[in-house]
Structure 1
Amino acid sequence: MSSALYRTHELAYRTQYAEIKERARATGLLLPGTPGRLKLKSVNGGSYWYRLFYPVPGKQEEKFVCTEADLEAYETMRLAIEDQDWMTKQISLLRKIGFQTADKVMARVLVELHNQHMLDAGLVLVGTLATMAWLNELGGMSTSAHTQDIDLASHILRLAAPASFLETVKATGLPFFPVPGLSPASPTCSVKLPGAQGLRVDVLTPGEELGQIVKLPALAWAAQTVPFYDYLLKDPEPACMLAGGHCVPVHIPQAARFVWHKLYASTQRRGTPEKATKDRIQALTIAALLASEDAHLLLDALNELPPRMREHIARIKGTLMQTASAHPELIDLLDAI
């Protein structure tokens, strides 16, 4: 029998995570980078408050807050720094006990997307970051997931974003550059940081064929099509992503739909068996957590699978059941494929 795919966090830590989420959702705009501190500076005969902080590791920044006489603005920023300092300490503790947390560079991007209302406009977090978010949401402990990609999916944008996608990622202060398309005339749908291991941000959207380019006027950007993303992105759910010292409100696919789509995606990998295995383990871990309490969600999502998706998943049924053998409730569901 295979070993269990997850362990469960203690109730006290799950409660702590829930409190962090509640406070993050009530915060509104998030302070980028470290909490920082307030510093009074004399400039041209006047006294002004600045916030000193690190937007990303190794880069200090000063940002104007208010004049010395503006006590209301000073107090607002002081409380914001105090709240962010509390948040950073709580997230550090959760990270040490096994909660999934993205790095500080990813945090800088996610915070900017949140502050620019890109995530409110309808962008959905998918890929490995969505796996990490669902593990935290469901209280599961598993092998830490690592990724150098932020995958954002768009189905229906509810409103136009106040800034273009490229303007938003450049506002992070990080040296993102657009990834060229297959031809000079092709719109780009990704940005990346320099270096082989540099963070990459991809924008994806539903389409019949993999890799077609679709323009998204609301973002002044383009997206790459992925088959059956219309199934994946139906009625996404609000959640939060722990990243650096931040808890960023996001939207992620329904857990059950995410499971079945990720299993399907694992069958479409060509020449990268290790990535297919990673997809299956991540999907089955979320599935095992769901099956222990909300198995009906998996069954309902299974019954709505497009036939071609179901056919591909059925071909790896034996492998899936072997991997999930420590979870009888999940085995029963997989047997229904």
Structure 2
Amino acid sequence: MGAKVLKHAKIYTGDQVIDDGYIRFDQQILAVGPVYEYVAQAGDEVKNVQGLTIVPGFIDVHAHGGYGYDAMDGDPEQIDTMATKMMRNEGVTTLFATTMTQSNDNIAHAMRGVKAAAAKNPIIQGVHLEGPFISAIYKGAQPEQYIKDPNTELLGEWNELSGGLVKLITYAPEDEGAAAFEDYCLANGIVPSVGHSNATREQLLNSKATHVTHLYNAQREFKHRQPGVTGHAMLEDNMRAELICDGFHIVPDMIRLAFDQKGPERIELVTDSMRSKGMPEGESELGGQKVFVKDKQARLADGTLAGSVLQFIDAFKNIQRFTGCSMYEAVLMSSVNQAEEFHLDSKGLLAAGRDADLNLLDQNLDLQATYSYGTEYHPE
């Protein structure tokens, strides 16, 4: 059987824009370039996609759940299904299954579940441990009774249970034991991310955090006498910033401020989605807490935002709408930056030798098809 070829698309490869291009692939990309360079080969399955746009598959490094499922449930079949639905309906071709502050046993159970799901579904490329090593002051929707100081031994145990899949951890760098904890992360390929934290700028200048979890949300705020977590993330070039672009977690003007300050090379779009994404409105659950979903917002009974129901394709549209950024810049923030930060060397760019993970969009940026490792899928 020959390779698949998509012709006459506008292609954003992640490092260039090809106005009238082609991409040839099986499980990996074989060639990409202007359409006049395409040389027909026997067995090629050619499709004319004129008027459509091809972008790299999206990479979501912070998503708890969706479609009725949650990584914390620890059920491998459900986590596998959840990842596949995110791919089909949102264009997410690489996922870091995200946990939350819970009991040690529940987190261990989730690690085993994600490991088993990842063995079956290669979309799952990592784990984002959000907590439990956070600040109770900025707990957000994380249950306070399970919060603890950074613990290297526990992290090592969970990382082992996951099969070494922990790639990102949200923690409070101001807490006792953070320095040794950060050293363990760096020695084991885990990116330390400040989040749910009351750290001051001075404390952060002495930390090894290089990433900020959901910028602006659940962190010491940006003030004129204390830049806090938000100000530090804005000021430091080595800090990558997650943005939840649903319009509720951050108002559009503040998204524009972050974009203007950080630039498209240091922002990563995330959904921070929970199990209610893709489901009807009503009552749901997050970490054993009741959540109420209404008007595209998920909140605890006291009104605290409890993750999102944001679909990645909408984050991709919204960042362009809120900031006026180009499609090229949106591709950086949805794929390229994540692949670079987390050393996902076969992801992020559309280039020969990379995985054939790509999204086909119409003029309204609606998802027409997703190719994951070269296999075509459509929204359900």
**TM-score, normalised with respect to structure 1:** 0.31
Structure having the higher helix fraction is 1
RCO higher in 1 or 2 (8 Å CA, sep ≥ 6)? 2
Q: Which has the larger radius of gyration?
A: 1
Structure having the higher strand fraction is 2
**TM-score, normalised with respect to structure 2:** 0.28
